[in-house]
Amino acid sequence: MNSLYTSGVRQVSSLQADLERLRNGENSAALLGQISASFAAMNRTIDDYDAMARREMIKAKQEKAQMRVQKFRSDYNELRSQFDQLKLQASVEQAAQQRADLITGTSTSTTTADTRRRFQNTPSEHSTLHPGLRPQGDQHAESPFRTPTPQPAFASREQHAPQRTLVHPKYRIQIR
């Protein structure tokens, strides 16, 4: 029973530290998932400790354990409400930031700008493509969705195949 109590105390302090990180602006999906998993583990610990407390034979120890269970449950509920408030506040701030980005046309996200830069038309001397793969004309697109016209240097595979067909004498199969 002491190990469950110690585990519960550590989980409470860990959750408090994680919530403090969330308060300080670290709003990552990894942190939110870690906090949610910690809440689930703490709930199981409280249930296990409560079950152990009910099975305690000595009345004084049972009362002490029941008080600890009540304390754990109140801490759990308090931390859970803080987490819900912080999560709601973070989602409101994120929605406001996205709305502001839409209105102003600027984005705080660098991935959108990087994607635009990657797929824009660039001169062939600055291209990242191998020189043999660069198109000969003015049109140049690195996007997989915009392809230039096919090049005459890359003919179909049938033109490179041998012109005559051999028949293997033993198997009477045509080999190309």
Predicted local confidence at residue 126, as pLDDT: 61
Above 60 in pLDDT, residue 119? Answer: no
Q: Is residue 6 part of a domain?
A: yes
Q: Is residue 168 part of a domain?
A: no
Token readout for 41 is 């583990």
For the segment 48-52, the average pLDDT, to the nearest whole number, is 95
Cβ atoms of 65 and 52 within 8 Å: the answer is yes
Q: Is residue 152 part of a domain?
A: no
Distance between CA 14 and CA 7 in Å, rounded? Answer: 10
Q: Is residue 70 part of a domain?
A: yes
For the segment 156-162, the average pLDDT, to the nearest whole number, is 54
Q: What is the DSSP string of 106-119?
A: --S-HHHHHHHHHH
Which residue, among 61, 33, 32, has the nearest Cα to 49 in the 3D structure?
A: 61
Cβ atoms of 1 and 52 within 8 Å: the answer is yes
Distance between CA 44 and CA 39 in Å, rounded? Answer: 9
The rounded percent of the chain whose pLDDT value lies above 70 is: 60
Cβ atoms of 16 and 86 within 8 Å: the answer is no
Q: Is residue 121 part of a domain?
A: no
Domain count, the chain: 1
Cβ atoms of 165 and 174 within 8 Å: the answer is yes
Predicted local confidence at residue 26, as pLDDT: 87
More confident: 160 or 89: 89
CATH number of the domain where residue 75 is located: 1.20.58
Residue type, 36: S
Distance between CA 119 and CA 145 in Å, rounded? Answer: 10
Q: Is residue 29 part of a domain?
A: yes
- Average pLDDT taken over every residue of the chain: 78
Q: What is the DSSP string of 57-101?
A: SSHHHHHHHHHHHHHHHHHHHHHHHHHHHHHHHHHHHHHHHHHHH
Q: Is residue 99 part of a domain?
A: yes
Above 80 in pLDDT, residue 71? Answer: yes
Predicted local confidence at residue 93, as pLDDT: 87
Which residue, among 81, 90, 114, has the nearest Cα to 22 in the 3D structure?
A: 90
Q: Is residue 161 part of a domain?
A: no
Provide the domain limits for residue 105: 2-110
